[in-house]
Structure 1
Amino acid sequence: MPETARASSLGGKPLSPARIATSSMIGTMVEIFDFIVYAFMAALVFAPLFFPAVSPWIGTLAALGTHAVAFGMRPLGALLFGWIGDTRGRRVALLGSMVLMGVATVAIGALPTFATAGLWAPVLLVVFRMLQGLAVGGEWGGAVLVAVEHAPKRRRSLYGSFVQLGTVLGIGVASAVILLVNTAVSAHTFQAWAWRVPFLASALLVVLGVVLRKRLEETPEFVAELAAHEAETGARPKVRTVFRDDWRALIAGSLMWSAPCSFLYVLMTGLVAYTKAYVPGLSSTDVQLGLLVTSVVLAGLTVFFAVRADSWGRERLVLWSGALLIVWAFPAFRLIDTGGFGPMLIAMLVGSVCYAAFNGAVPSLMADLFPVASRYTGCGLCIAFGTAVAGGIVPIGGLALAGEFGGSSVPLSLTLVLCGVLTVAGVGMSRRRPAMAGHPTARHSRTV
């Protein structure tokens, strides 16, 4: 049996739903910090350190390819930790993903480079990046469920959005740390050893995350569902039922993730590689500063949309996020191609409205797409499949085509348009029963 709810805060009293949601937010922030630091470093320094035998642009694509490998591991992570979360408990799955992410990230920070270890260096880089992908694949679904399944009925969207705030904060903290290290040392020193600092420093954040997650309670919905399921069948739930009974929800939810993932990995972190190669007026410091400012705005907008998600309609907000990205894709890169910091910041900030609208609506929406017994696996697979395509394959393809066309941003704009269309299509597939919204006790109802 899983761990039952237990006293877990100072004074022996259970944590409030708001504090549980905050704890989930901080845990997600730590994992996303680790994941995004790699994305930045792949664009900044990994090409000469791990792929020195090829041209700089091909080396950058190879380094970003190792970044994309993690997205291929995310579905496996969602399956592994989803199985744990749906059969053993949300809390133990989240602890496992946090520890695995911490070990992989610190190991990357300690890796020898190609000059020292030869081919073993990129091989080990890929291995540890795969472990990062496995870990982050088990993160989002569990963090959302801990927040949503503890939340009061009328605040499920608000508390669920705390996890998306953790994603935004993880990006902001990663940007701030790299910006600080990058400006504190020379370019030579940064490439020689200072790039390791964010990876090694993440060990402190992981310890914080583990401490917070050990204090979490198991969610009442999961405890009740597992007890009822075992009473009816004499066995634990089977994870494979999510493919048999909830395949339509899996497709719809995965498609919905396309627009926000492409915004995050093309119009935010992907700009480090694009501007470094083709927009000489913008430095990596400019992009990191823009990311930091955008992250702050994103946090506020996410709360704004979360508060209004239930009254405006969660599917409607997700639809708006996809439509806005379609409209903004070409103007955004026109602004970026000017080479000015101000225009680039406008491109990011307007695009952030798309991401924030999605952030405010998607956590509780994804939770309600699946019954409790398969919810961890279903939610995890939706984001894993969505990010594998829109966060891994699509950005690399767009950047490769940009290189083929002499640095043109048109392929990148087209990738954003495509992903916006996929999100709109996902909303079109979603046909949740109105009675299910906010009623997690409907254990075996289908929501799509």
Structure 2
Amino acid sequence: MVIGGGVAGLAACSAIAPHVASITLIEQEPMPTEPMIRRHTPQAPHVHALLDSGRQALEQLMPGLGAALQNAGSLPLRVRSQWRSHDGHEWCAPEDTGPVVLSQSRPLLEHVLRCRVLALPHLLVQTARVRGLMLAAGDETRAPRLIGVSLDDSTGQRRQLDADIVVDASGRAGDSLKWFEAAGLQLPPEMTRHPDIRYTSAFFARPAQTRANPPSAWLRPAQAPATQGLVMAPIEGDRWVMTLIGRFGASMPRNEDGFRQRALAIAGPELADSLASARMLSQLRGFAIKSVRFRRFDRKASALPLGYFPIGDTIATFNPLYGQGMSVAALQAVALQQALSDHTAPAVQQTSYLTAAHRPADWAWKIGGAVDRAYAQMRQHEDADCDHFAERLRLAFSASVLRPGLRGQIDRVLHLLDAPEKLDALCTEPV
């Protein structure tokens, strides 16, 4: 059973498909047959790029997915050369450092994933809302075992559904901890931060361009002490999706004129012509994330019910400015596939998965915390590992001024292709 039909849940379905006789995918709303913004994904209208690690992970789970996305209009953009960045003073000169980002709308990505997953012959989709976990009692030496869930189906009727494995992809707003409390289970330790992010986004028309001459994305993140930023990414359908960023109480525009004026002030003259000629295709949509959190299920693995596998936002949510969430979920789905491939005891599979799944989440958590700690307004738990990584990241960027080749290695860390510890070696090499 997989709870949740977002990116994490769809990736999980693909991961477990070779190892189970049947899969039940539970989603609160009917699964759409076309790309569309779903009610339970309010973040969908905003910029959604897939980091190189996520792109590779999904391709491993679903061979040919990258080609299917590109055929549907997704644009592969090379980091720094086609995914342009701003250093706080000016737009950086284009250079190719290796990683590739897939740029498309969130609805398109989910649609292509759904098409692959819904084609699985042993998958059943149920529209329902999970209300609790069903457990078989353990003893002093064994944790309780999951045997299914209780749910309210599409008619509102409460019933039970059996399952040997439950993958919890219920997401940021999921009820996972409520299920744990109701079942008398121990809650995982949790760390929180308060990055205080607000978004306002809209879609714009852009001139059609060929694959030989693709458009570039433009990223000017809010960098301390600045509290405003912008992302302008090309997506399918000859459109731009433009997201304005505000942090720590920064005001956000409420109409098209205000949006355009703010975008021009942030982007500068380099994008003036593009902004002036782009026709707005949608209304403005807002979204806010005040806090993020990291649940350490791996530190309570022995207390978890056997058969329970959390994934994606159920484990950790991140500052969305760094585009890590979907890629972390994809990497965790690969970890799930690998754990189930080992024909060992269920408890060993579960522990192996939790260890592997928390690794990319920990990487992303360190990266976000290292960058955000530059804000005096930022509230977060003390984290010595994060402080160490922030210093290593600062030293690596400083070293890359004289050694441009380091920038590709830094980008591999930021794209979750290499562990943050890789920066230790970069910072100790002689200039």
Fold in common (TM above 0.5): no
Taking structure 2 as the reference length, the TM-score comes to 0.27
Taking structure 1 as the reference length, the TM-score comes to 0.26
More helix by percentage? 1
More strand by percentage? 2
